Structure 1
Amino acid sequence: MTADIDEKAIRKDDPDDLVMALAEAKAEAICQKLPHGAVREKPSSEEDARKFLKGYSGGYAATVSSVLVTNLKSGTRKGGMDRVEIHFDEIPGEVIETLIMEGIVLKSAGGLIIEHPSIVPYVKRVAGTTDSVMGLPKALPEKLIKDAL
């Protein structure tokens, strides 16, 4: 997928700053093209968390992570994205309330925490890796580091 941004519209005096600004603009443009219903950050309230979790119940959520590595010796930069889809069975209301009461869902993007013992039984399928959902797709930076070397 290409970003299709106007690179000339992004200007920085320092080459390092410029390539980073371009990478960020491209990543944002690509994220906007991906099929998603909403970008969800950490819930700002228990009501937000409740809404998010009820929205996943019987449906699915998707996460998108991006990684950019820089070889400080050569200046080579390599970046990539990782997408995971999580499909859920119906999540009972009492499970949602327990997760909210514990407060843990308020500390994760989208209130999404598929490794918690209370939610594990309702995770039907994960298309991708759990580590990516938790914040860092381990295989991606390993590959990018090798590519940048």
Structure 2
Amino acid sequence: MAAQGNNPFKVILGSASATRRQILKEMGYDFTIMTADIDEKSIRKENPEDLVMALAEAKAEAIISRLPYNGYEEHEVPTLLITADQVVVHGGSIREKPSGREEAREFIKGYSGGLACTVGSVLVTNLKTGIRRGGWDKAEVYFHEIPEEVIDSLIEDGGVLYVAGGLMVEHPLTSPFVNSVVGSIDSVMGLPKFLTEKLIREVL
């Protein structure tokens, strides 16, 4: 795991999300991946901002507990651990990953002709110094009517079963029915670039 380009640090992405990997690559970072494997349902908060922050913290703690502690030498470059979480808020209720195909279908039908809000957290931990900074970001996605056959195809494809609220705005089947996005598309996809960069600067 080499330090990236001119960046005097290494990065671990604590997420299995393909979109987060893609966004972090777009940001110009080399990184390794570790997943947390926590029981997300055991962590409950009433408001979405508190929930996504608590989940990002729990993921960070789970990953740190599995790392071999090597007591960083003064001359070593720091390693930054980036963890994140996201939920979708629709009709006042918090939506996480669908429990199955039927719930995914119900979620997507609910967005048709309407609005979905994403609330996502980013937490950056400097493993050398222990300094940790986190924050959350929101975005709104407005949809045209989504035809039944498109919803069927999305369920058949299966990707929607593994993302918060079954929401995949970047999917070629979904994107034609996105009317507008208020906020950044990378935030909707699970890793807001501006927030991630800000937190990286704060922990260094």
Q: TM-score, normalised by structure 1?
A: 0.72
1:1-149 matches, within 5 Å, as 31=49, 37-149=92-204
8 Å CA contact retained: 2:48, 2:94: no
Query: Which stretch shifts more, 65-74 or 125-134?
Result: 65-74
Give the length in aligned residue pairs. 123
Q: Distance in 1 between matches of 2:46 and 2:135?
A: 12
Structure having greater relative contact order (Cα 8 Å, sep ≥ 6): 1
One-letter amino acid of the structure 2 residue matched with residue 56 of structure 1: Y
Identity %: 59
Q: In the TM superposition, what is the alpha-carbon distance from 1:136 to its structure 2 partner?
A: 1.4
Q: TM-score, normalised by structure 2?
A: 0.54
Q: In the TM superposition, what is the alpha-carbon distance from 1:70 to its structure 2 partner?
A: 2.6
Q: In the TM superposition, what is the alpha-carbon distance from 1:65 to its structure 2 partner?
A: 1.0
Unaligned runs of 5+ in 1: 1-24
Unaligned runs of 5+ in 2: 1-42, 52-88
Q: Distance in 1 between matches of 2:127 and 2:158?
A: 40
Q: Distance in 1 between matches of 2:150 and 2:122?
A: 33
Q: Distance in 1 between matches of 2:127 and 2:105?
A: 44
**Greater strand content:** 2
One-letter amino acid of the structure 1 residue matched with residue 173 of structure 2: S
Q: In the TM superposition, what is the alpha-carbon distance from 1:98 to its structure 2 partner?
A: 0.8
Provide the aligned C-alpha RMSD in A. Answer: 2.4
One-letter amino acid of the structure 2 residue matched with residue 81 of structure 1: W
Q: Distance in 1 between matches of 2:50 and 2:130?
A: 28
1:39 aligned counterpart, secondary structure:
strand
CA-to-partner distance for each residue in 1:45-90, whole Å, 9 max, x for gaps?
2110111001100111111111122334443322111111101011
Q: Distance in 1 between matches of 2:48 and 2:151?
A: 32
**Greater helix content:** 1
- Alpha carbons of structure 1 residues 72 and 46: separation in structure 2 relative to 1, 3 Å: closer
